[in-house]
Structure 1
Amino acid sequence: MSFNTSPSNAAEYAWEKDDVFGRIASRYDLLCDMFSCGIHRLWKRRVAQRIASEPWNTLIDGATGTGDIILRLLPILSAQGRTMIAADISPKMLAIAERRLDRFAETVKLCQLDAENMSSIADNSVDAYSLSLVLKICDRQRVLREALRILKPGGRLIVLEASNIRIGLLHRAYLRYMSICMPALGWLATGGDASAYRYLLQGIRDFPTAEALATEMTQLGFTEVAFERLSLGIVAIHSARKPAA
Structure 2
Amino acid sequence: MTTQREDITHNAAGFETDQDAVFDRIAARYDLLCDLFSFGIHRHWKRRVAQLIAREPWRDLLDGATGTGDVVLRVAAAQALGRDHHIIASDISPKMLAMASRRASNLRANITFRQLDAHAMPAIADASIDLYSISLGLKICERDKVLREALRVLRPGGRLVVLEASHIAPAWLHRAYLHYMGMAMPIIGWLATGGDASAYQYLLKGIHQFPDAADLADEIRAMGFTEVSFEKLTLGIVAIHVARKPA
TM-score, normalised to structure 2, is 0.96
Write the mapping of 1:53-202 to structure 2, written as runs, cut at 5 A.
53-80=55-82, 81-104=84-107, 107-202=110-205
2:18 counterpart of 1:7: no
Deviation of the 1:99 alpha carbon: 0.4
SS at match of 2:117: coil
For 1:109 and 1:10, locate their aligned partners in 2 and report how far apart those are by CA, in whole Å. 29
CA RMSD between the two structures = 1.2
CA distances 1:107-136 after superposition (whole Å, capped 9, x unpaired): 111111100001110110000010000000
In 2, Cα distance between equivalents of 1:238 and 1:216: 11
Aligned residue for 2:169, secondary structure, equals coil
**Contact 2:76/2:109, CA 8 A, preserved across alignment:** no
Q: Which residue of 37, 42, 45 corresponds with 1:43?
A: 45
Moved over 4 A (4+): none
CA distance in 2, matches of 1:70, 1:138: 20
> Matches of 2:73 and 2:181 in 1, distance apart?
28
5+ unaligned residues in a row in structure 2: which ranges? none
Query: 5+ residue gaps in structure 1?
Result: none
The residue aligned with 1:21 is: 23
Shift of the alpha carbon at 1:104? Answer: 2.6
C-alpha displacement at 1:169, in angstroms? 0.8
Matched length: 242
Map 1:207-218 to 2 at 5 A: 207-218=210-221
By how many angstroms is 1:86 displaced? 0.8
CA pair 93-84 structure 1, distance change in 2 beyond 3 A: same
Matched letter for residue 66 of structure 1: T
CA distance in 2, matches of 1:225, 1:12: 26
- Structure 2 residue identity aligned to 1:168: A
TM-score using structure 1 length: 0.97
